[in-house]
Amino acid sequence: MVRASLWIERGGVAALTEAGADLLEQIQAKGSLSEAARSLRFSYRRAWMLLDAMNKRWDAPLVLTAVGGKKGGGAKLTELGSRVLRSFRDLQIHIEAAIDHEIDGFRRATR
């Protein structure tokens, strides 16, 4: 099996990884950082640190959060966050398709 890992760097540091994209998807689905972390089996601390790092590495935040309480909190992808996530997933699909297309040549060359 041939696999590829994708991450996006900005300023020489990872700005979006597979784990980050998974977290963004779950935030989009659940509307909550704690629920997103729970569904991915991440500690809340890990999820918060990952989100904080992603938000700092882009020109604008990918996710906006609101503190909980009586009215409840929540987390929501910004327009930039939605575009970044969609573009990342599209790029993954194109990379996987390219690998599928070229895999036979790779296997022949490496026998």
Assigned domain for 1 exists: no
Structural domain for 60, as ranges = 8-109
Give the pLDDT confidence of 2-54 residue by residue, as tens digits.
788 999 999 999 999 999 999 999 999 999 999 999 999 999 999 999 999 99
Contact 88, 14 (CB under 8 A): no
Is residue 91's pLDDT more than 80? yes
Residue 68 belongs to domain with CATH number: 1.10.10.10
Assigned domain for 3 exists: no
Query: What does the pLDDT read at residue 105?
Result: 80
Assigned domain for 13 exists: yes
CA distance linking residue 108 with residue 93, whole number of Å: 24
- What residues contact residue 51 under an 8 Å CB cut-off, 6+ apart? 23, 27, 33, 62, 63, 65, 75
Number of domains in the chain: 1
Assigned domain for 60 exists: yes
pTM here is 0.88
Assigned domain for 35 exists: yes
User: Using 50, 70 and 90 to split pLDDT, how confident is the model at 69?
Assistant: low
